[in-house]
Amino acid sequence: MSCICFYLVLVVGLAAVASNPSPYYAALGLVMVAGVGCGVLVNYGGSFLSLVLFLIYLGGMLVVFAYSAALAAEPYPESWGSGPVMMYMVFYVLGVVMVSGMFWGEWYMVFWVPADEMGEFSMARGDVEGVALMYSFGGGMLLVGGWVLLLTLFVVLELVRGLGRGALRAV
């Protein structure tokens, strides 16, 4: 049952992000979605992936977003209480409810499948073993990931350099 609650909060959280509030509140909605997403993953038995989501996503990305929300600060922020945002939010949630009504008779529940049915033969959970494959079988993928991170470093450096006169200054 907790899984259903997590699903509901996930969808409502995304609707909260999508309904155009101020960036602070959108970031708050995203935090909520990420936290609930961790819960969903744990329900399915993916504890390591859930941990990765929690640490990397909440720890890394949203700190950066909070930092840059300061760059886009506005004096009168709009939260979900204000008119148009509330209207869009209600509109989106009603839309999701209607679409789910279309599928209402055809749900089939196959969740609660644990990730490690072969649990008695292995030391760790399934997703830990799977992620560890990145360092043996999936070495090429690891290289591609590392390469794109390096590339992004140069991309970001070039983008914010701005005619070579320092970082945060008007051109």
Interactions with other proteins, residue window 136-155 (CB under 8 A): 137-138, 141, 144-145, 147-152, 154-155
Interacting residue with other proteins among 32, 44, 54, 80 (CB under 8 A): 44
- Shortest distance (Å) from residue 8 CB to other proteins: 8
Q: Is the dihedral of CA 67, 18, 21, 11 positive or negative?
A: negative
CA distance 171 to 154: 20
Q: Residue 103 CB, nearest distance to other proteins (Å)? A: 5
Query: Strand, helix or coil at 51?
Result: helix
Counting residues that bind other proteins (by CB under 8 A) gives 87
CA distances from 13 to 80, 100, 121 (A): 12, 17, 39
The structure tokens 């950066």 sit at 64
- The answer to whether the CB of 22 falls within 8 A of the CB of 79 is yes
CA distance 134 to 146: 12
158 binds other proteins (CB under 8 A): yes
Does the footprint of other proteins cover residue 90 (CB under 8 A)?
no
User: Segment 23-42, which members bind other proteins (CB under 8 A)?
Assistant: 23, 26-27, 30, 33-34, 37, 40-41
User: Does residue 80 bind other proteins (CB under 8 A)?
Assistant: no
| The binder of other proteins chosen from 99, 101, 121, 123 (CB under 8 A) | 99
